[in-house]
Every structure is written in C-alpha cells, then in structure tokens.
Amino acid sequence: MKFEYIPRGVCSRKMVFDIENGQIKSLDVIGGCNGNLKGISSLVTGMKLEDVISRLDGITCGSKPTSCPAQIAEALREYLSKN
C-alpha cells in the first residue's frame, strides 16, 4: 500500500512509503539531504514499522526539535493509527 506523508519542521518535502504486511517495502524522500536519506531508506527497507518507529523517534537535527528520521517515525505512527 502506498502512503504519502508531508513532513513538518525539516528540509524534506514529501515521503512516499510502500508498506506491505507491516513492513516497509520502499521509501522515497523528496528534498532533504539526498545521500543521508537514501541511506536511511535503504536501512529501513524490510523492517517492521514498530521497529523503525522505536529506532528513529526523537532524533533531532541541529537545533531543530525534529529531524527527517523522526518525521519518518511520525509518518509511520500516523499510518498505523489510520490502518
């Protein structure tokens, strides 16, 4: 199932998840730090949603209270609350 999320408070502009059976099949992030987000996308592919949330929740970026990884966790929380 495709799920799109608009992150808040970070440089990335959009996150597009492909989720099947409670696992991330793919993640594309538009905007943000390209190389870092490609790496994160590769690392979370195949992981259970709950595991991704627990690993990425609360990560900050510089003086910002959030980060792209934290917004991935927030997106997955939103997905789980709706499905």
Mean pLDDT, residues 27-44? 96
Fold of 2-82: Enolase-like; domain 1 (3.30.390)
pTM assigned to the model: 0.96
Burial of residue 59 (CB within 10 Å: 0-12, 13-18, 19+) is: middle
| Confidence grade of residue 32 (pLDDT, cut at 50, 70, 90) | very high
pLDDT digits (tens, 9 = 90+) for 7-17: 999 999 999 99
Helix axes 34-44, 68-82, angle to 10 degrees: 40
